[in-house]
Amino acid sequence: MVAGVDLLVPVKPLRVAKSRLRGSRLAGDDRAHRDLALALVRDTVAAAREAHLVRRLLAVCSDPQAMRVLRADGAEVIPDDPDAGLNPALRHGAGLLRADDPAAAVGALQSDLPALRPAELDAALAAFAALGGRAFCPDRAGTGSTMLLAAPGVELDPRFGGGSAVAHSGSGAHRLDGPWPSLRCDVDTEADLAVAARLGLGRHTRRLLAPGE
């Protein structure tokens, strides 16, 4: 039984994050685009930090603005020293977590889940605890992955990217298919953001959508 999981949240440089949202109603210029990308991250991190089964959360990030804001929010942040893409960043972060606690269960949570509910994240982590090994949560479309987990003594072996659900399943990770819509709702497009809004956005993204509220 896993008592808790140490989670990594990888954060891209804001200028290149969420490229398919660039030019949308909320991201019409560079500043608005960065603000939206950062709001998605802040809401994801805030929700994950409230989950009871998240023992430690570590943001892997080298964007100066994102690092500053996340630290002001109270999050633990480390620089992405490899600076070689998502999976190397996650392997780097997992190595640091395991260096601090070799017996830790570790995981990677995507940073674009602005509707994430702590209770749903806890439910998914509890389901993983019953399985052990490695497990992943597929995204709403069923082709990507929003979270990857590894039990104590098991390598994380991240395979995020196009078709990551198939890649993670093919590498032996269990598929976690529970009733957790907020955990599966990653945001890449305006349509995704509309779905997340119907689920209920975190306060940072909600303020951008409805600044007068």
Structure confidence at residue 32 (pLDDT): 82
Domain total in the chain? 1
What the block records as the tokens of 137 is: 């949560």
Nearest 5 degrees, angle CA 166-CA 170-CA 174?
Answer: 90
Q: Is the pLDDT of residue 205 over 60?
A: yes
Secondary structure (DSSP) of the chain: ----EEEEEEE--TTTTTGGGTTSTT-SSHHHHHHHHHHHHHHHHHHHHH-TTEEEEEEEE--HHHHHHHHHTT-EEE--SS-S-HHHHHHHHHHHHHHH-TT-EEEEE-S--TT--HHHHHHHHHHHHHH-SEEEEE-TTSSSEEEEEE-TTS------STTHHHHHHHTTPEE---S-HHHH---SSHHHHHHHHHH---HHHHHHH-TT-
Dump pLDDT digits (tens) for 111-131: 999 999 999 999 999 999 999
First to last CA, the chain: 43
Q: What is the CATH number of the domain that holds 146?
A: 3.90.550.10
Predicted confidence band of residue 1 (pLDDT cuts 50, 70, 90): very low
pLDDT in tens, 149-196: 999 999 999 999 999 999 999 999 999 999 999 999 999 999 999 999
| pLDDT for the residue 96 | 96
Average pLDDT over residues 68-73: 97
pLDDT at 39 over 90: yes
Q: What are phi and psi of 108, to 5 degrees?
A: -125, 130
Q: Which amino acid is at 141?
A: A
Share of the chain above pLDDT 90, in %: 82
Domain of 18 in residue numbering reads as: 5-209
* CA-angle at 55, arms to 68 and 89, nearest 5°: 50
